[in-house]
């Protein structure tokens, strides 16, 4: 076994280079590194796996010949069982407590190197019945040098966690209830699958990361270490490339090209090339909300008599730092010297079964996140370290990544052996991801300090050198360009204080505080916030969950809850249904279940939109917030803003309404009326017009004013609605001089050149949902402008509240939105993929694809849309098609 030097690079990484430097020849194409013999060979076919009782067999020689399953690699035991139709996702077997064996026949002659990128979790590697390697962390990669003489059998054994969980170690100062059993603190494995109450018990076992064979090609790569930095206006790329075989350093010449700028590389020794390339006046990589996430293509040229040209992917240049304010209580991320309001969500997994998901799944999720205005995702300590593809896509899509190390809640062991494991896993991760511009924050772990503080431990007794010494030293050594924070949350007199440093804010949410608490809490940066049981669309409830009844056991099993709590997150959502909308949830749930579901979806969209409007306003102390969570781990009313099948929920649409780079929002200032907030995060000046209008009975304009304005680059303006109007008007109905004069206030921002609507904001002085009326809605089905798809044209005579589009064939790109009267709204439609049993980790294996999906299987993807459009203040739905 040898230690990894540098970062192994997955050769099958596919990168969209449409955001590369304009001078690049490859602009608008894709580069796929998979055919060249220079890259390691993926051992991803021909595997079989077998599950046995713990300790039943001590070596491969004893294994039975029968009972083996075809096994995908990279993959898990759960993914092998799912492929064979043997995974009961509702009641999965406790896979971590049995033994599991994988085998593969290798054929070849000569020296080879096996590379294991991740083995979950207590693993043995055998070659021809001789044990070659043991691993005790799923987060550590291993190399194994072997010699082949024809055929050889490679066997992996994944042992039960039971002995490791029972082993005696230093006594924990506290025991969290999040994960079970509490001795998981001693084992380096993900907590996914071990968190009752919100995560399905599908446990990570198997070769979850790729296994590679490094071959005998003369120029075969071993490791690639790429970094980028800025020197004033120039970008510098540094490369250390280690080959598997020695080279003649006198005759072999090498150069590295970055976006057309070329530099010679030097031989450090017969195996290692090093060098730098300078890119003058380098274009910066930006989060997509603030600029273009520019990436430069990298090309290696080798010439030892035969010229070889090999793409090494792409790289970006950016500078990231944290501004903590004059008194140290703030947390503002600055990218390229520009303060960025970070917004997004906490990542779970694209597929809980495989722990990876496909490139298509990742791209779809990243596209939804970007379209919603997100510019940051957080990979929390309860999850795992994601693949190179994940971080490369974050680079491409312009999404910042807040990365926790895989540590959460526990009082971890402090002995030398455990610290060595953490040091090795953290070093490998930092080196592996050094090339990625999107990595923006490195965090010691999730809720470790908070857990101890909430149990009453003083600061001196809850400190862990792991977070205050070991990890910050590693970050300073390996990724000094990325800010480090010890824990999330952290920073105040208590780690969970909301008005200092980093917090996890659930005032609006689990703690059932009023909306006004979003301002009173004085949040600086919420690395987690706003957890609700977000209801998916009816199609997902029927097809993936199997019920649309909120009291069905299948529904309740999928609703997240905190361990030991006498309530769940359905109860949290119902609290706001009652306090904001004035309905009795229990009553409407049994009298009109469909209405209950629609209002449940609407209230979550409204809460998210209102809270983020508060946090983005001029004068707010908040510099960022990440919703808990981005995607569900199982079908149902989970925390995710995207459901387990990949379909967006109302929460995501509510997020999108308030989080765009060019945005108008409204905040209720009580007796001071309404404040209008105008946000321009772009680098260009915006010229436009702002219209303010108040409507009575949803259609009668009782007040309006329109005027030109200019928004400077990277600016935030606050206007008083009264000043904009030029006279008194009781926008918020705070003075209550008689009955309300209006039902809704609409602020509309127009582009001065095109006249198109850029952004809209709505304020309702009364949120009651009891009044319903004929809105005069019309819906037309049209071909889109490129004649390659469909769109809906929706128009109303009266204000429509939370318009929702239901179509069995298509997904609306815009949904759960308010619509002003006499304003034609075009909504593009996207064809839905068939919802099959393997579409999500927890879809029932016997789910039957609906008729619409059957049509798609038959190739009828251009079928005309048919469905209905609803609004929560409409008497009835409007059908189309």
Q: What is the pLDDT of residues 463-516, one digit of tens each?
A: 999 999 999 999 999 999 999 999 999 998 889 899 999 999 999 999 999 999
pLDDT for the residue numbered 679: 98
d(CA 626, CA 342): 8
pLDDT for the residue numbered 705: 96
pLDDT for the residue numbered 34: 44
Which residue pairs from 586-590 have beta carbons closer than 8 angstroms and sit at least 24 positions apart in sequence?
589/550, 589/551
Confidence of residue 13 (pLDDT cuts 50, 70, 90): very low
pLDDT for the residue numbered 460: 86
Cβ–Cβ < 8 Å for 145, 4:
no
pLDDT for the residue numbered 563: 81
d(CA 504, CA 526): 5
Buried b (16+ CB within 10 A) or exposed e, 92-117: bbebbebbbbbbbebebeeebbbbbb
pLDDT for the residue numbered 834: 65
Which residues, 6+ apart, have CB-to-CB distance to 183 below 8 Å?
165, 166
pLDDT tens for 351-403 read 999 999 899 999 999 999 999 999 999 999 999 999 999 999 999 999 999 99
Q: With a cut of 80, say whether residue 21 has pLDDT above it.
A: no
Q: Where in the chain is the domain with CATH 2.60.40.10?
A: 217-315
> For residues 674 and 839, which has the higher predicted lDDT (pLDDT)?
674
Give the residue from 339, 460, 346, 465 showing the smallest Cα distance to 401: 346
Q: With a cut of 70, say whether residue 14 has pLDDT above it.
A: no
Residue appearing with tokens 């030293």: 473
pTM to 2 decimals? 0.94
- Architecture in CATH of 217-315: Sandwich (2.60)
Q: With a cut of 60, say whether residue 416 has pLDDT above it.
A: yes
pLDDT for the residue numbered 841: 42
The DSSP element (H or E) to which 724 belongs, if any, is: helix 721-725
Confidence of residue 27 (pLDDT cuts 50, 70, 90): very low
Cβ–Cβ < 8 Å for 295, 31:
no
d(CA 839, CA 857): 14
State the alpha helices, DSSP H only, in 511-618. 517-520, 538-540, 553-558, 569-581, 585-591, 593-616
Q: With a cut of 50, say whether residue 859 has pLDDT above it.
A: no
Give Rg (Cα) of the chain: 28
Q: With a cut of 90, say whether residue 339 has pLDDT above it.
A: yes
Confidence of residue 250 (pLDDT cuts 50, 70, 90): very high
Rounded average pLDDT over 639-666: 97
Confidence of residue 46 (pLDDT cuts 50, 70, 90): very high
Q: With a cut of 60, say whether residue 850 has pLDDT above it.
A: no
Q: With a cut of 60, say whether residue 115 has pLDDT above it.
A: yes
Sheet containing strand 266-269, strands side by side = 221-231, 234-243, 272-279, 266-269
Give the residue from 836, 634, 852 showing the smallest Cα distance to 83: 836
pLDDT for the residue numbered 1: 44
Helix, strand or coil for residue 310? strand
Q: Mean pLDDT in the chain?
A: 91
pLDDT for the residue numbered 785: 82
Q: With a cut of 50, say whether residue 30 has pLDDT above it.
A: no
pLDDT for the residue numbered 837: 42
Rounded average pLDDT over 557-564: 87
Q: With a cut of 60, say whether residue 669 has pLDDT above it.
A: yes
Residue appearing with tokens 């209006």: 742
pLDDT for the residue numbered 277: 98
> What angle, rounded to 10 degrees, do the helices at 593-616 and 650-658 form?
30
d(CA 7, CA 13): 14
> Other C-beta atoms within 10 Å of 78: how many?
28
Least confident of 97-106, 307-316, 729-738, 746-755: 729-738
Of the chain, the percentage scoring pLDDT greater than 70 comes to 93
Give the residue from 642, 672, 625 showing the smallest Cα distance to 518: 625
d(CA 356, CA 362): 9
Confidence of residue 217 (pLDDT cuts 50, 70, 90): confident
Q: Does domain 675-758 have CATH number 2.60.40?
A: yes
Give the residue from 250, 226, 192, 526 showing the smallest Cα distance to 378: 526
Q: Which residues pair with 781 in a beta bridge?
A: 792
Cβ–Cβ < 8 Å for 48, 102:
yes
Class at the top of the CATH hierarchy for domain 778-880: mainly beta
pLDDT for the residue numbered 245: 93
41-214, superfamily in CATH?
Answer: Galactose-binding domain-like (2.60.120.260)
């Amino acid at each position: 076994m040898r230690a990894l030097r540098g970062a192994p690079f997955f050769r099958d990484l596919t990168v969209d280079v449409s955001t590369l430097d304009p001078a690049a020849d490859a602009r608008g194409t894709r580069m796929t590194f998979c055919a060249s013999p220079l890259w390691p060979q993926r051992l991803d076919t021909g595997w079989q796996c077998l599950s046995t009782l713990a300790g039943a067999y001590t070596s491969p020689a004893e294994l039975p010949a029968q009972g083996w399953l075809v096994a995908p690699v990279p993959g898990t035991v759960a993914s092998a069982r799912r492929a064979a139709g043997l995974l009961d996702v509702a009641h999965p077997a406790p896979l971590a407590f049995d033994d599991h064996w994988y085998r593969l026949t290798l054929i070849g002659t000569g020296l080879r190197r096996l590379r294991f990128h991740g083995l979950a979790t207590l693993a043995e590697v055998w070659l021809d019945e001789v044990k070659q390697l043991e691993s005790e962390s799923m987060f550590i990669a291993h190399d194994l040098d072997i010699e082949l003489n024809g055929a050889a059998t490679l066997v992996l054994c994944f042992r039960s966690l039971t002995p490791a969980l029972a082993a005696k170690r230093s006594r924990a100062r506290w025991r969290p209830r999040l994960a079970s059993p509490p001795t998981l603190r001693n084992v380096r494995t993900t907590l996914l699958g071990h968190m009752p109450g919100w995560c399905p018990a599908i446990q990570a076992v198997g070769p979850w990361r790729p296994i590679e064979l490094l071959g005998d090609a003369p120029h075969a790569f071993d490791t690639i270490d790429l970094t980028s930095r800025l020197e004033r206006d120039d970008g510098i790329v540094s490369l250390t490339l280690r080959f598997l075989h020695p080279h003649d350093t006198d005759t072999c010449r090498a150069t590295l090209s970055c976006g057309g700028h070329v530099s010679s590389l030097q031989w450090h020794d017969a195996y290692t090339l090093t060098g730098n390339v300078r890119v003058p006046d380098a274009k910066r990589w930006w989060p997509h909300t603030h600029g273009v996430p520019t990436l430069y293509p990298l090309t290696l040229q080798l010439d030892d008599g035969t010229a070889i040209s090999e793409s090494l992917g792409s790289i970006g240049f950016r500078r990231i730092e944290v501004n903590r304010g004059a008194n140290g209580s703030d947390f503002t991320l600055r990218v390229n010297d520009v303060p960025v309001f970070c917004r997004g969500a906490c990542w779970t997994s694209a597929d809980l079964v495989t722990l990876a998901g496909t490139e298509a799944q990742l791209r779809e999720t990243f596209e939804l996140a970007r379209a919603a205005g997100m510019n940051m995702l957080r990979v929390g300590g309860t999850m795992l370290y994601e693949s190179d593809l994940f971080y490369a896509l974050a680079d491409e899509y312009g999404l910042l990544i807040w990365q926790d190390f895989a540590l959460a809640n526990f009082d971890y062991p402090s002995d030398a052996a455990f610290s060595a494991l953490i040091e090795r896993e953290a070093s490998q991760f930092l080196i592996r991801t050094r090339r990625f511009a999107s990595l923006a924050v490195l965090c010691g772990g999730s809720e470790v300090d908070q857990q101890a503080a909430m149990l009453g431990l003083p600061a001196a007794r809850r400190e862990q050198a792991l977070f205050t010494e070991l990890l910050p030293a590693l970050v300073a050594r390996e990724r000094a360009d990325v800010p480090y924070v010890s824990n999330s949350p952290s920073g105040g007199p208590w780690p969970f204080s909301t008005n200092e440093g980093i917090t996890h804010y659930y005032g609006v949410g689990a703690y059932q505080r009023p909306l006004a608490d979003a301002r009173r809490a004085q949040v600086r940066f919420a690395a987690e916030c706003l957890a609700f049981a977000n209801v998916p669309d009816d199609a997902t409830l029927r097809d993936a969950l199997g019920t649309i009844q909120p009291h069905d056991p299948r529904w309740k099993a999928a609703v997240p809850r905190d361990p030991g709590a006498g309530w769940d997150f359905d109860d949290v959502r119902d609290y706001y249904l009652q306090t904001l909308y004035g309905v009795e949830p229990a009553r409407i749930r049994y009298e009109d279940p469909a209405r209950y579901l629609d209002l449940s979806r609407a209230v979550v969209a409204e809460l998210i939109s209102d809270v983020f409007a508060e946090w983005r306003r001029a004068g707010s102390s908040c510099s960022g917030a990440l919703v808990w969570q981005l995607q569900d781990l199982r079908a149902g009313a989970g925390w995710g803003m995207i459901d387990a099948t990949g379909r967006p929920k109302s929460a995501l649409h509510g997020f999108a309404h308030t989080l765009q780079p060019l945005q108008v929002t409204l905040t209720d200032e009580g007796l001071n009326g309404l404040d209008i907030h105008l946000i321009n995060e772009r680098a260009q000046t915006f010229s436009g017009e702002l219209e303010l209008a108040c409507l009575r009975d949803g259609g009668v304009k009782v007040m309006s004013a329109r005027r030109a304005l200019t928004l400077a680059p990277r600016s935030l303006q606050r206007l008083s609605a009264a000043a904009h109007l030029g006279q008194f008007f009781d926008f918020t109905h705070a003075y209550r001089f008689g009955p309300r004069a209006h039902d809704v206030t609409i602020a509309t921002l127009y582009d001065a050149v095109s006249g198109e609507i850029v952004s809209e904001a709505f304020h309702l002085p009364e949120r009651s949902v009891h009044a319903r009326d004929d809105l005069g809605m019309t819906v037309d089905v049209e071909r889109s402008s490129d004649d390659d798809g469909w769109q809906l044209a929706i128009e109303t005579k009266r204000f429509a509240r939370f318009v929702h589009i239901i179509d069995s064939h298509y997904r609306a790109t815009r949904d759960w939105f308010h619509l002003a009267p006499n304003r034609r709204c075009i909504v593009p439609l996207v064809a839905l993929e068939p919802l099959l049993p393997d579409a999500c980790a927890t879809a029932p294996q016997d789910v039957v694809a609906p008729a619409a999906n059957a049509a798609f299987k038959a190739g009828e993807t251009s079928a005309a849309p048919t469905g209905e459009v609803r609004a929560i203040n409409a008497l009835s739905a409007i059908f189309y098609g």
